[in-house]
Amino acid sequence: MCCEQHKHEIGRFLDDELTPDAHAKISEHLKTCSACSRELADIQELTSSISDSSRVTVPSNLWGSIKHRLDAATCEKPAKPPVIRSPLVWSRRWAMAASLGFALAIGMFVLSLTNSPAQASAIDFGILLDALPLDAQKAFQKFLKLYDAQPGSPSDAKKFAPSLDFETPQTLPGGFALKSVYLLQFGNRPGVAATYGRDGEFLATIFHPPVEKESFGTHKDYPCAIGKHHGHKVEIGSWKMVHLTDPTTCHCVLSQLDETSELPAVMAAVAPRATTSHAHGHE
Amino acid sequence: MKSVTEQDMVEGCRRGDREAQRELFEHTSDRVFRLLVRLTGSMDDAYDLSQDTYLKGFAQIDKFDGHASVATWLYKIAVNEALQFLRRAKSTRLKLQGAALELDTNPVDTTAVRLDVQAALAVTDPSDRAFLVLRYQDRLDYRTIAEIVGCPEGTVASRLSRARDRLRKILQKSYDSREENNPALHPRGSR
């Protein structure tokens, strides 16, 4: 057994947290005490095993998520401390404006216009793509959360985003069944997403207004052909996120489908009136 | 002494300047995120807790007194967020415990010992884990750990001593259990 009176000091000795005098005393003691030497070796082995040299990379979209929540808090309630709530919840905003008075309502409205997240000039897919290989559905839920998704029906989606041209059919070619439809907010512009399932296989669609920039984090975006159209895609393992953009709508399909066999029919079902035959520029 | 850059960042954050907030994030996120991954064992949880840490940090920046570096101050918030989360998520802890017990490796092998220790670390008491991670993974000195955890330096030494002992007991129990099931795995006997 280790000398109990020295046990505490051995840890500090190893961590280089003793005064020079105390360090020297323990050093001398270790020369003559085999029990304490063993204790030192044991702690050394344990602590070196605890040390972890694996590299952890900060997800590329983490700041985007924080900024989004900061912006949402600023839009919702500029007073300190900010309360983190979903942005652009108009009914709540107007209710607050009514209680605070007309002048404050105007002020907040102006503020909301100037501080809305990104004004739909950029969409960050990094949060979705980073986590895709681990759990696609969970990754998709994170993306939905980032853009304040609210559940809805296909008809809600049409009313919510009348400027977008898209379809959310009950079934897709290949036997995918519609699971959920979501209404999204890209800044102050609407978007729509839908999820489908086929024997446990996940597929999702996202429709958003054409934007100045789509961020894919560290993932590379390549041009590709989807049936008669030219689009672009990001591939991560077996997953593909394929985009087809026309002047009104960017149609995205996230799936594991082959892009030459099954995917063109699915894209045609969700973007039947897509007019583009050329890829639009994306960063 | 704080650098001008850090003071500028803090002052900017106090004004709610988004660019200053981003600067502070850029300067500290690597360490904060890594710490949260190590404490929770999950990239997903670390992602969510990092957001909470920075939102809380920005909201409470007026409370930052400059006594320690702003990075240490954010670390303190991150550790608190992680500990609260881990105490709530006992089911997660049980899952990790299951994973640890399922490790079927020979502890004589160095890599296997390291894996075993990482798995055992995941099932230690969250508070013990915080001390061990801060000292042996982030390599912080006792004074900084004391500032982060909010205790005297002497307490850091005793908490580390206790945490190491508990970790060793978990490992010993795991080895004993496996040896009972398969004595051939451990020709040298239990550690």
Residue among B30, B59, B136 whose CB faces A51 most closely? B136
Res A167: pLDDT: 94
Q: Cβ(B140)–Cβ(B134) under 8 Å?
A: yes
What span, in angstroms and rounded, lies between the C-alpha atoms of A69 and B18? 12
∠ CA(A206), CA(A210), CA(A212), 5° rounding? 120
| Inter-chain CB proximity A50 and B117 less than 8 Å | yes
Res A51: pLDDT: 84
Q: Pick the more confident residue, B188 or A189.
A: A189
The least confident of A100-104, A223-227, A274-278 is A100-104
pLDDT tens digits, one per residue of B19-36: 999 999 999 999 999 999
**For residue B42, with 0-12 CB atoms within 10 Å meaning exposed, 13-18 middle and 19 or more buried, which class applies?**
middle
∠ CA(A148), CA(A152), CA(A156), 5° rounding? 110
CATH number belonging to domain B1-88: 1.10.1740.10
> Touching check for A86 and chain B: CB below 8 Å?
no
> Mean pLDDT throughout A86-113?
41
Could you tell me the residue ranges of all domains in chain B? 1-88, 90-191
What span, in angstroms and rounded, lies between the C-alpha atoms of B71 and B19? 17
> Mean pLDDT throughout A15-26?
92
User: Per the structure block, which two tokens stand in for B95?
Assistant: 């899952």
Q: Rounded mean pLDDT of chain A?
A: 78
Stretch 13-42 of chain B: residues touching chain A, C-beta under 8 Å: 16, 18, 21-22, 25-26, 29-30, 33-34, 37-38
The least confident of A15-29, A42-56, A153-167, B104-118 is B104-118
| Inter-chain CB proximity B54 and A82 less than 8 Å | no
CA distance A146 to chain B (A): 11
Q: Name chain B contacts of A82, Cβ cutoff 8 Å.
A: 55, 59
| Inter-chain CB proximity B25 and A51 less than 8 Å | no
Q: Which residues pair with A177 in a beta bridge?
A: A171, A197
What 3-state DSSP class applies to B103? coil
What span, in angstroms and rounded, lies between the C-alpha atoms of A242 and A245? 10
> Mean pLDDT throughout A234-242?
87
> Does the interface ipTM go beyond 0.95?
no
| Inter-chain CB proximity B55 and A70 less than 8 Å | yes
Res A145: pLDDT: 84
| Inter-chain CB proximity A46 and B167 less than 8 Å | yes
Q: Cβ(B161)–Cβ(A46) under 8 Å?
A: no
Q: Cβ(B72)–Cβ(B144) under 8 Å?
A: yes
The least confident of A100-109, A196-205, A263-272 is A100-109
Q: How many other CB atoms sit within 10 Å of the CB of residue A182? A: 25
What residue has token string 């997800």?
Answer: A59
Residue A271 is classified by DSSP as S
pLDDT at B72 over 90: yes
Q: Pick the more confident residue, A97 or A147.
A: A147
Nearest to A141 by CA among A282, A271, A254, A283: A254
Residue among B29, B50, B164 whose CB faces A11 most closely? B164
What 3-state DSSP class applies to A162? coil
What's the fold here for domain B90-191? Answer: Arc Repressor Mutant, subunit A (1.10.10)
Provide the pLDDT confidence category of residue B7 given band limits of 50, 70 and 90: confident
Res A101: pLDDT: 47
Domains of chain A in start order, with CATH, are 4-50 (no CATH), 62-116 (no CATH), 123-270 (3.30.200.100)
Res A281: pLDDT: 42
Nearest to A141 by CA among B72, B44, B180: B44
Nearest to B121 by CA among B191, B35, B49, B38: B38
Question: Burial code of A222-257, b = ≥16 C-beta within 10 A, e = fewer?
Answer: eebebbebbbbbbbbeebbbbbbbbebbbbbbbbeb
